[in-house]
Structure 1
Amino acid sequence: MKTNIINIGNSQGIILPSALLRQLNLTSNSLVEVEIENGNIIIKPNPRQGWAEAAKQMHAEKNDELLSQELPNKFDLKEWTW
């Protein structure tokens, strides 16, 4: 697929086709990681989108307690170096 670099304000960008965005379950507000690898621009979806908001909601509903109360254990207390 080919696309052009376009001006967006004082920056430049590319337009990603909606079919490509749908395949990755991305929207116009999705957070992505952009990096350069071997001379290529790599755009990766951020798999943890919405986690911060979900954690805040769980805390507000007092639904964020530990599922396992077994910590710390003997290994954590005596053998592990923190």
Structure 2
Amino acid sequence: MKSQVRKVGNSHGVIIPKPLLDEAGIVEGDVVTMKVNKKGRIVLAPVRAEVRAGWAADSKALAQAGEAGRIWPNGQGSRR
């Protein structure tokens, strides 16, 4: 699939066809990283949050709000 680099304000851009975005698992609004690899190719990749990232901190916030039965199992508080 070919595309053309276009001027967009003070930058340049490329239209990425939807089938390529679908294949990469990228949807409108996603945050992506861009880098140039050792072969001089531009690599675009979706930024994915780690599974369960932030759960322990959220659990502690629930405990402080009086939801002690919902504390992340880290040895503190009650567990259901």
Structure 1 runs (4+) deviating above 3 angstroms are: none
In angstroms, what is the RMSD of aligned CA positions?
A: 3.1
Q: What pairs up with 1:1-82 in 2 under 5 angstroms? A: 1-38=1-38, 39-48=40-49, 58=58, 62=62, 65-69=71-75
Compute the displacement of 1:24 (Å). Answer: 2.4
Higher helix share: 1
Give the TM-score normalised by the residue count of structure 2: 0.60
Aligned to 1:74: none
Give the TM-score normalised by the residue count of structure 1: 0.59
Q: Report the 3-state secondary structure (helix = DSSP H, G, I; strand = E; otherwise coil) of the residue aligned with 1:19.
A: helix
Unaligned runs of 5+ in 2: 64-69
The percent identity for this pair of structures is 23
> Deviation string for 1:30-64 (max 9, x for gaps)?
11110111211111111129x88x86xx57x8278
Aligned length: 65
